[in-house]
């Protein structure tokens, strides 16, 4: 395995010395681009599939690497740290630089991880690769691939509304766009996040006035930090589950501003501040013994699925807040249009509906069979739970 040497050569150097250097430093992910051959970016040869679906995951044949594989492989480009996209067991990982802390916290500090700043290009086996903001969670990235004039972009998961906790979605022009479709139905149209946060803060304030805690269930990675960013800390103390606090630390280390939080497990049962607090916890904490410490409380769930009345009933919560880190139907269509893609590959979610709609609009739309799905929930295993 050879390391990355990925910058354009602007001066004459000895090819022999570079090759010798590569052979003596072999731990990393990608290989040196050809120093002698330049493929003009505006020359497009006959189209070929730069990404195909294999049993291990989405595979780039000319580059010999995978994007978000669901089986262990040698080289994995990871779009973001949610468990359905970032899995253990790969030999070498490549991800966007802002997501390094997240990936190590979730997959282990000892993984062989290489990072790439947004927009910076590297080459491997003639494939030019770069990562671009996806707006989903901290470190989320779209993967741009260029080979012999053909350009593909794999989106991973994305949303198009900036939220202040991660780099905003950046449309990338391409010939083929690989998109998610988690909320790929016309019924999914998100309220403005300003309205949602106003609703969350009002609910919290109302509960404070009644002397009961506000427990808000949300995914520990991404959603929890986005909610923290939108809370009004002047209302009361903010407590978090043990699954949330380590990820808050990673966000803060990455420069994301979050209000002060306390670990809920450190607060004695019966402490009066609990009745003024909002508590962020993963959905798996619902109904567990961990919840007893809060006494009388009102609970809510934050998710795009809360748009459906039946989902709110099944969750059995007092309130549902429609807040998603995925694009809604208008967001998906806008993102696809912005790429200028002639062909669209849809990976997961409401695949058939989006494929049919895009075909009716004159695009060449198809489906990839993948093992991606709803982002993971962390089990609520805590001392005293």
18 within some domain: no
Cα separation, 338 vs 340, in Å, equals 6
Backbone angles phi, psi at 179, to 5 degrees: -120, 150
274 within some domain: yes
Instruction: Please tell me the pTM assigned to this model.
Output: 0.85
341 and 286 in one domain?
no
Helical pair 100-107 and 245-253, crossing angle rounded to 10 deg: 150
155 and 94 in one domain?
yes
Q: Domain end: 321, 354, 379, which one?
A: 321
Work out how many domains the chain is built from and give that number. Answer: 2
199 and 108 in one domain?
no
176 and 246 in one domain?
no
Residue 191 pLDDT: 98
Cα separation, 50 vs 329, in Å, equals 27
Residue 20 pLDDT: 36
236 and 125 in one domain?
no
78 within some domain: yes
Residue 374 pLDDT: 60
384 within some domain: no
pLDDT, tens digit only, all 385 positions of the chain: 333 333 333 333 333 333 333 333 333 555 433 222 223 344 454 568 999 999 999 999 999 999 999 999 999 999 999 989 999 999 999 999 999 999 999 999 999 999 999 999 999 999 999 999 999 999 999 999 999 999 999 999 999 999 999 999 999 999 999 999 999 999 999 999 999 999 999 999 999 999 999 999 999 999 999 999 999 999 999 999 999 999 999 999 999 999 999 999 999 988 999 999 999 999 999 989 999 999 999 999 999 999 998 887 788 899 999 999 999 999 999 999 999 999 999 999 999 999 999 999 999 999 988 888 765 444 444 433 3
128 and 77 in one domain?
yes
CATH code: domain of residue 317: 3.40.50.10890
In sequence order, which residues have a C-beta less than 8 Å from that of residue 28 and are 6 or more positions away?
1, 2, 3, 4, 92, 112, 114
36 within some domain: no
382 within some domain: no
Q: Domain end: 267, 294, 321, which one?
A: 321
Tokens for 65? 């690497």
Residue 120 pLDDT: 98
Report which of 128, 136, 131, 142 is spatially closest to residue 97, judged by C-alpha positions.
Answer: 131
Q: Domain end: 321, 344, 359, which one?
A: 321
201 and 309 in one domain?
yes
359 within some domain: yes
336 and 302 in one domain?
no
385 within some domain: no
Q: Return the number of other C-beta atoms located less than 10 Å from residue 379's C-beta.
A: 12
243 and 136 in one domain?
no
Domain membership of residue 84 as a residue range: 45-187+326-367
78 and 201 in one domain?
no
CATH code: domain of residue 347: 3.60.15.10
218 and 177 in one domain?
no
123 and 220 in one domain?
no
In sequence order, which residues have a C-beta less than 8 Å from that of residue 163 and are 6 or more positions away?
135, 193, 226, 229, 325
Tokens for 300? 């809510």
């Amino acid at each position: 395995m050879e390391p990355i040497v990925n910058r354009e050569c602007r001066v004459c150097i000895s090819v022999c010395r570079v090759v010798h250097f590569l052979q003596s430093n072999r731990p990393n992910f990608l290989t040196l681009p050809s120093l002698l051959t330049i493929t003009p970016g505006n020359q497009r040869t006959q189209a070929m599939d730069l990404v195909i679906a294999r049993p291990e995951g989405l595979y780039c044949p000319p580059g010999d690497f995978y994007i978000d594989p669901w089986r262990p492989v040698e080289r994995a480009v990871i779009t973001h740290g949610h468990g359905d996209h970032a899995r253990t067991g790969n030999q070498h990982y490549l991800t966007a630089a802002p997501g390094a802390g997240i990936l190590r916290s979730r997959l282990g500090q000892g993984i062989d991880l290489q990072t790439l700043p947004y927009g910076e290009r590297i080459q491997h086996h003639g494939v030019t690769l770069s990562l671009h903001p996806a707006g989903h969670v901290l470190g989320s990235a779209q993967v741009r691939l260029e080979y012999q004039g053909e350009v593909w972009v794999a989106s991973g998961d994305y949303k198009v509304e900036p939220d202040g906790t991660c780099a905003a979605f950046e449309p990338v022009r391409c010939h083929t766009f690989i998109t998610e479709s988690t909320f790929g139905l016309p019924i999914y149209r998100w309220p403005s996040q300003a309205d949602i946060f106003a609703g969350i803060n009002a609910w919290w304030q109302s509960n404070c006035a009644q002397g009961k805690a506000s427990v808000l269930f949300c995914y520990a990675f991404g959603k929890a930090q986005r909610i923290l960013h939108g809370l009004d800390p002047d209302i009361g103390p903010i407590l978090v589950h043990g699954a949330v606090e380590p990820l808050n630390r990673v966000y803060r280390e990455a420069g994301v501003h979050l209000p002060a939080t306390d670990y809920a497990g450190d607060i004695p049962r019966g402490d009066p501040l609990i009745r003024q607090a909002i508590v962020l916890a993963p959905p798996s904490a619902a109904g567990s013994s961990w919840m007893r410490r809060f006494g009388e409380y009102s609970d809510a769930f934050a998710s795009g699925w809360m748009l459906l009345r039946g989902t709110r009933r099944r969750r059995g919560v007092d309130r549902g807040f429609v807040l998603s880190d995925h694009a809604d139907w208008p967001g998906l269509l806008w993102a696809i249009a912005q790429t200028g893609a002639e062909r669209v590959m849809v990976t997961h979610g409401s695949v058939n509906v989006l494929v049919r709609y895009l075909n009716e609009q004159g695009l060449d739309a198809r489906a990839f069979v993948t093992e991606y799905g709803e982002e993971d929930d962390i089990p609520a295993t805590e001392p005293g739970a």
